[in-house]
Structure 1
């Protein structure tokens, strides 16, 4: 697929500078000299350009990097993780400040499928910077900042959930500028986790298979998806997941595009599959509904005029693949 890397969070050319991860001196010097550190609170990056109760303006949202020693970083859980080099070759970092407790938090929103809440650190009153859910703002970030934010969120979430050695249970230490954890007790090394997930554009002529999961926003439908199991190929996972969830048999399978999806640690592998049966049998433990949607009906969905179906979240690979299928650009 020629446009594969135009999907959100895809490579923007970020220089991850892996060779610097072991150069503690260079990284410390960069931080001492005021290198930018992106604060994240419970996975939400600090940004400017988002107002309470308002939709972000196109191109108006930017990541709010701050130097070490800034009050917003006072509750950092561990040392900053190194993200890579910015446009001017400056080192960039990220830090988890979830130890900070905002004065008011709507726990029903934070971490939910639709989190419109903002958290404001008192040190940022003059700037208007706030912590915003990445899925809310992701399409309003530049490609480079979207990649930086996704990297920061995925890496810090892995550290938050992997503080202890899986071999011996001892508390592990951040290592390699955040790209490893090292166990001081048994010497084991642990690396950031990525879970491969297949997401499938299953077609039957001029129809595409859509489904919805329980708990999704009203009317929202998307492509079917599922985790790849141990010992399974991508093609095998596509066929198994579609048959298990919707009872549809799939023949030829091909790869289209991929997307890092740090919610919390997936790599979405976008595939196309050709259905060889069309009778839907929904697994109610997995899906609330599944249906065939014609190309003309999908046009109505994307135009916001369909009475029963709303499209997948803008910015997600499902929206990307459906949009390209609709415009006949899956080449």
Structure 2
């Protein structure tokens, strides 16, 4: 089955899959040492990414024939995997060429918009998320952290080697917790200054070294809004390629209720009743407040609360 198609079930309508969680490709790590021959195959496919931008074909296909993708690429491609004997690669393009690319019939959007607007099947989003995270990692890790020498891409993009000290550097994913804190029939939502106006979401933060997921939930909640948390329950996870995080979704039970906000971390936070949350989900809140869309794990945590789930 091509990467741009995926089976649809009734369950998808009831519980839409989290964006970026389904990758239709076999990562085929055993092929990574040398994929030059795969790249030359007529059936090879390639996606094009430039920073936050993603270029797709006029027909909406996220993966183009590799020969077409190479016309716009800069740098070496990254091998993403195989599907139905078709090798798939990620190519980087210069965002300054966007107007030129659109003139050639390509559509240029962003990975967030593609997910939010449902412009691509879930299996394609997972592959694009891998591509974006890997390209971002290469952009930020061009030099050896041991000796400072410029490193070289190897293993078809899944490693960088230092020619000076011999150090090997591998892509990393940053674990982060995202939690919906619940107190009885209320849940705690907040907003950062960079959020869209009127949007409230779950609290979130990175897991620190030597810290469990549960303790990260407790620490971040206390730091950001001054609320103590008792029980923590893991619900689901979501790769979040902005730039390369893994969001660990949790429900948490509040052990205190008074809010003391850290203005450096959060712009506003408040307790919302079930009725208010229902209005936010429906888009008819009297203050025009709303929660993130279906592409974000935050909305899925809110829906779990509305369904009666607890920590």
- Asked if TM exceeds 0.5, the reply is yes
2:40 is the counterpart of 1:32: yes
Distance 1:203 1:330 in 2: 7
- CA separation of 1:80/1:91 partners in 2, compared to 1, >3 Å: closer, same or farther? same
2:93 is the counterpart of 1:97: yes
Q: Which ranges in structure 2 are unaligned for 5 or more consecutive residues?
A: 1-13
2:299 is the counterpart of 1:299: no
Q: Which ranges in structure 1 are unaligned for 5 or more consecutive residues?
A: 50-59, 103-118
Per-residue CA deviations over 1:243-301 (Å, capped at 9, x if unaligned) read: 11111110011111000001011110001110011111111111111001111111100
Distance 1:42 1:62 in 2: 19
Runs of 4 or more consecutive aligned structure 1 residues displaced over 4 Å after TM superposition: none
Aligned residue among 153, 170, 176 for 1:197 = 176
SS of residue in 1 equivalent to 2:179? strand
Distance 1:299 1:177 in 2: 47
- CA separation of 1:285/1:232 partners in 2, compared to 1, >3 Å: closer, same or farther? same
Match of residue 67 from structure 1: 66
Within 5 Å, give how 1:108-127 maps onto structure 2: 119-122=98-101, 125=103
Per-residue CA deviations over 1:148-181 (Å, capped at 9, x if unaligned) read: 1101000011011111111111111111111110
2:74 is the counterpart of 1:81: no
RMSD: 2.2
Aligned residue among 50, 53, 58 for 1:44 = 53
Within 5 Å, give how 1:1-331 maps onto structure 2: 6-22=17-33, 24=34, 27-34=35-42, 35-48=44-57, 61-68=60-67, 70=68, 73-74=70-71, 76-86=73-83, 88-98=84-94, 101-102=96-97, 119-122=98-101, 125=103, 128-139=105-116, 140=118, 141-308=120-287, 309-328=289-308
Distance 1:273 1:185 in 2: 48
SS of residue in 1 equivalent to 2:74? coil
Distance 1:292 1:245 in 2: 14
SS of residue in 2 equivalent to 1:274? strand
Q: Please tell me whether the aligned partners of residues 62 and 145 of structure 1 are also in contact (alpha carbons under 8 angstroms).
A: no
- CA separation of 1:216/1:47 partners in 2, compared to 1, >3 Å: closer, same or farther? same
Report the alpha carbon displacement of residue 7 of structure 1 after superposing the two structures with TM: 1.6
Report the alpha carbon displacement of residue 203 of structure 1 after superposing the two structures with TM: 0.5
> Normalization by structure 1: what TM-score?
0.83
Q: Please tell me whether the aligned partners of residues 251 and 310 of structure 2 are also in contact (alpha carbons under 8 angstroms).
A: no
Q: Please tell me whether the aligned partners of residues 248 and 280 of structure 1 are also in contact (alpha carbons under 8 angstroms).
A: yes
Distance 2:182 2:135 in 1: 37
